[in-house]
Structure 1
Amino acid sequence: NSKVDPTEGMNLAERIHWQVLHRRKEGIEAMISEIIEERAREMGNTQSEAAVNVLNTVLLPAMKDVGDRFGAGELILPFVLQSAEVMKRAVAHLEGYLEKVEGYTKGKIVLATVFGDVHDIGKNLVNTILSNNGYTVYDLGKQVPLNTILDKAIEVNADAIGLSALLVSTSKQMPLCVKELYKRGLNFPVIVGGAAINRSYGRRILFVDEQTADAKPVPYEHGVFYARDAFEGLEIIDRLTNSPEQRATFIQQIQEEALKERLKKKTGTAGVPTSNTEEHTPSLSVKPALSLPKPPFWGPRVLDRIGIEDVAPCMDLNTL
C-alpha cells in the first residue's frame, strides 16, 4: 500500500506552509518556483513582485506559525532549527527572483555568543530568523571577545548588537559590554538572550552605575532588551528599525520598566526571586488539569524487600 500524502487536497501555498512546519526540504525549491509563476500570472505582476508576495503571505506566516507553536510548547528547539533550515532554503531560492537593490537591508545586526561560552544553537537560530526576514546579520560566532563585538558594530554601523549566553558565569560579559558602550559613548541598542538569563536580568544590566542602595540610577540610554527566544528577538529588532519615533518610544518604555523594577527592589516590595527562570502568566494554550492525582503517600519510605513478582510486569522483555 502506498503512503497517504498528508498534503493531498491542499493548494500550493498550504503545501509550502506544511513543508516548513513539518521540516521537509524535499522539493521546496520547485514549489517556490511554481507558486511565484502562478501568482505572477494571477496578479499580472512581474516575477519579482510575485516573489515578494510569496515571501510576505506564504513563507513568513509559515515561520511565524513555527514560532507560535514553539512558544506554546508544541515544538521543541531541534524541530524549530530544522524548520528554519527549510525556510532558509526556500528564501535562498526565492531571492533569485527578486530585483536586487544594491545595499538594501532592513537593518544590520552584529550577533555573538559572549567570550567563554561555546554554545551557539540559539544564536544560530536567531541568525536564520533575522536573515530570512530581510536583515543583514554579522554573526561573529562563539567565544567572541568584547572588543571584537564593538569594533564590528562600529565598522558596519550596526542597528543593534545581539549577545547570547548559556552559562551564568559567561553572562557576566553582557553588563561589561553595556558598560563599555556607555564608557565609549556608543549608541548601539543591546539585545540579550540565552538560558542563563531572564527578563529581570536584562532590566538590571541596563543600568551602568554600581546599583548600590544610595546610587543614582544611570541607564544606558540606547537600551538593553531581553529576548526570550529568536522570535521575540525579531519583534524587538522590527520595533527598533521601523521608525525613529517608534524606536525612541520603545527605548523609553524599556527604561521605565527597568527603573520601576529597580525601585521596587530598593524598597523591598519586589520579593526575592527563587530561581533564574522568568516569571510569566501561564500560556493560554495549556489547558488546566481536570483533576490532580493524589500520591499514595508523602515523604520517603524504606522497602525491606522488592519481590520479583512486583518488578516483572515493569520489565521490557524485548530489551532483555
Structure 2
Amino acid sequence: TVKGVEKEKKQKMIDDGLNPDDFDENDDSNYAGKVLMATVKGDVHDIGKNIVAVVLGCNNFKVYDIGVMCSCEKILEKAKEYDVDVIGLSGLITPSLDEMVVVAKELSKGGFKQPLLIGGATTSKMHTAVKISPNYTTPDHPVIHVLDASRSVTVVSSLLNENKTDFVEDLKEEYEEMREDYYAGLEDRYFLTHEQAKEQKLKINFDESPPPPAPKKIGVSLIDTVSIEDIVPYIDWNPFFQTWELRGRYPNRGYPKIFNDETVGGEAKKLFDDAQKMMKEVIANKSMWLKGVVGLFPANRTEDGEDVNVYETEEDRAAGKVFKTFCMLRQQAEKESEDPYLSLADFVAPAGYKDHLGMFAVSCFGCDDLVAKYESENDDFSKIMAQALADRFVEAFAEYLHREIRVSMWGYAPDEQLDEADLLKIKYDGIRPAPGYPSQPDHTEKTSMWSAIQAKELAGIELSESLSMMPASSVSALVFAHPESEYFAVGQIGKDQVESYAKRKEMELSPCERWLSPILNYERD
C-alpha cells in the first residue's frame, strides 16, 4: 500500500548511504524518469491516478500530476513544459475513452515522442489496442494499457531502460493480434435489426403481474438529514480493498475473510483499522456529509415501446402532458437461447396502466476540502484514504436510500426484511441502473434526470461537460419497481438503432454516435 511504499523508499535511501532529508527534488538527475499524470477533460475521478502517482513517486520517478478535467491542450502544453519521459492518462467514465483517442491523435500531430500510458476503471487493454494505439504508437512511443498501480513501475521502468526495444516489440505484436481478433469477432458476430430485436422484446403481462402501487409521495424530495453514521451498516468494504489493490487468495477473498490471507491479511487489517479511525474522525467533526434528491413520477413506456414518458402528476398523465422522456437502448447481439432482447423500457407498463418510475442522485460532500488539507500536509496516504471512504459512503447512501424508496417513500415493499448482507446480494424486488452503465450506457440521459429532479438546484450535484457527476463521490440511478425488472448489459448495437435513438432524442447522429462509441458494432465516420 501507499504507506508501505513510502516507507520502503526512505529505507532504500538510507541503505544506499543517503539522507532522505537531503534529497534535492529540483535536480532531475536524482530521478529514474519524469512522468506526467492527468485525468482527461470532463472527468473528475482521480483516486486511481493518485495511487499510481504515489507508487511511481516512491519508486524514484518524478511525477507531475496536473489534476482532473485536463483539456487536451493542457496535457500537451505541460508535457512540453516539464519535458517528461512518459505521459499517463486516466479516466473513469466512458466518454473519457473517446477523449483519450483525441489526445493520442493530437500527440501524434504535435510530433511528441513520449510513450502513452492508459488507465482507469472503464479502460481496457482491448480498447487501448483497437481504438487508441493505432493513432499514436511507433517503436519509439507505444501506447500501453496499465491495469493497476502495482504494474505501473514495471511498465515505466521497461520503457526507460535498455530493454525498451524488446518490450515495445512484444507489446506491438500483442496489440496487433488483439486488433485482428477484435475485428474478426465483429465479422463473426450476428446482430438482429432493431425491428427484429423489438419484436423479440420482454413481454410482461401487466394484467397478471400488475405495476406496483403508487408512491406515497409523487414528485421530488430533498434528502439532507441522513448522517454518515446512518449509512455505516450499509457499507460494502470489498471495493475499498480493491481500490488499494489488496486481494486475498481463495478461500480468503473478500471482506472480512481477507484478514485471514497469509500474504495480504496483515496489511488489509492495518488499512481497515486506519479507515475506521478516519471514519470516526469524519463522523465526530462532520467533515463529510451526505445530500441527495429523489424523484417519483407517474410513468408509461412510449407507444413504440422503446422509451419511457414521465409525468409530473396523475392529472398530467390523464391529459397526456409529458414532463420528460427517458430514452432507452435495446440489446441487438444475437442470442443462442430464446431469451428476449431487453430494454429498460420493457419493465414499465404501457399507457392505460398506472405505473411509475423513480430516480435519485446522491453525493458525499466535504471530501475535496479534506483532500486539499492532506495535500498541503504532503500526506498522500490520508488524501487517498479520504477519497476511498467518500466513495464507500456515497455507495452506502445509495443502498440506504434505495431501501427507503422501496419500504416507505414508494412503499412497494413495506414488509421487506433483509439484512445489509442480503441487500448487497440484491435480493430485493426492483433495480436501480445508472445512466452510463451497462443497462443504459448513455451518459446524456443524466441531463433529463438532472432537470426532472433538480439535482443541481436542490442538492448542489453538478455535471461536467462529459457528464461526470461532481463531487466525484456521487451516484445516480433510475428506479424500477416491477419484480420482473433485472440488470442486463445492452452490449453492442447497430447503426439502425443508433439512428432511431438519435431521432427519438432529437439529437444529431454524429454527437449521438460519439457518446455511444464504446458500444457501436461499426466504425463511425
Cα 1:98–1:111 shift into 2, 3 Å: closer
Corresponding residue number in structure 1 for 2:314: none
1:154 is the counterpart of 2:154: no
Corresponding residue number in structure 2 for 1:242: 161
Cα 1:269–1:122 shift into 2, 3 Å: same
Corresponding residue number in structure 1 for 2:249: 285
Q: How does 1:168-317 map to 2 (within 5 A)?
A: 168-204=94-130, 205-208=132-135, 219-221=137-139, 222-243=141-162, 246-268=163-185, 285-287=249-251
Which is richer in helix?
1
- Report deviation, 1:237: 0.6
**What amino acid does structure 2 have at the position aligned with 1:182?**
S
Q: Secondary structure at the match of 1:206?
A: helix
Q: Distance in 1 between matches of 2:42 and 2:26?
A: 39
TM-score, length-scaled by structure 1? 0.53
Q: Secondary structure at the match of 1:167?
A: coil
Which is richer in strand?
2
Q: Distance in 2 between matches of 1:285 and 1:126?
A: 23
TM-score, length-scaled by structure 2? 0.33
Which portions of structure 1, spanning 4 or more consecutive aligned residues, are displaced by more than 6 angstroms?
A: 269-272
CA distances 1:258-281 after superposition (whole Å, capped 9, x unpaired): 111112233338977xxxxxxxxx
Corresponding residue number in structure 2 for 1:96: 21
Q: Distance in 2 between matches of 1:199 and 1:248?
A: 20
Are the equivalent residues in 2 in contact too, given 1:52–1:98 (CA < 8 A)?
no
Q: Distance in 2 between matches of 1:151 and 1:191?
A: 17
- Report deviation, 1:239: 0.7
The total of aligned residue pairs comes to 199
Q: Distance in 2 between matches of 1:99 and 1:162?
A: 24
- Report deviation, 1:156: 2.3
CA distances 1:105-140 after superposition (whole Å, capped 9, x unpaired): 110101100000011111111111111111111111
Structure with more contact order per residue of length (Cα contacts < 8 Å, sep ≥ 6): 2
Corresponding residue number in structure 2 for 1:278: none
Give the unaligned 5+ runs of structure 1: 1-16, 37-48, 56-93, 209-217, 273-282, 290-305, 316-320
Cα 1:142–1:100 shift into 2, 3 Å: closer
**What amino acid does structure 1 have at the position aligned with 2:21?**
G
**What amino acid does structure 2 have at the position aligned with 1:196?**
T
Are the equivalent residues in 2 in contact too, given 1:51–1:98 (CA < 8 A)?
no
Q: Secondary structure at the match of 1:109?
A: strand
Cα 1:260–1:132 shift into 2, 3 Å: same
Q: Distance in 2 between matches of 1:288 and 1:102?
A: 45
1:51 is the counterpart of 2:9: no
Question: How large is the Cα RMSD of the aligned pairs?
Answer: 3.9
Corresponding residue number in structure 1 for 2:436: none
Identity between Structure 1 and Structure 2 (%)? 28
- Report deviation, 1:251: 1.6
- Report deviation, 1:241: 1.3
- Report deviation, 1:189: 0.6
Corresponding residue number in structure 1 for 2:438: none
Are the equivalent residues in 1 in contact too, given 2:129–2:175 (CA < 8 A)?
yes
1:140 is the counterpart of 2:66: yes
Are the equivalent residues in 2 in contact too, given 1:114–1:171 (CA < 8 A)?
no
CA distances 1:223-274 after superposition (whole Å, capped 9, x unpaired): 111111111112111111122xx112212211111111112233338977xx
Corresponding residue number in structure 1 for 2:52: 126
CA distances 1:278-297 after superposition (whole Å, capped 9, x unpaired): xxxxx9933599xxxxxxxx
Are the equivalent residues in 1 in contact too, given 2:39–2:67 (CA < 8 A)?
yes
Cα 1:198–1:157 shift into 2, 3 Å: same
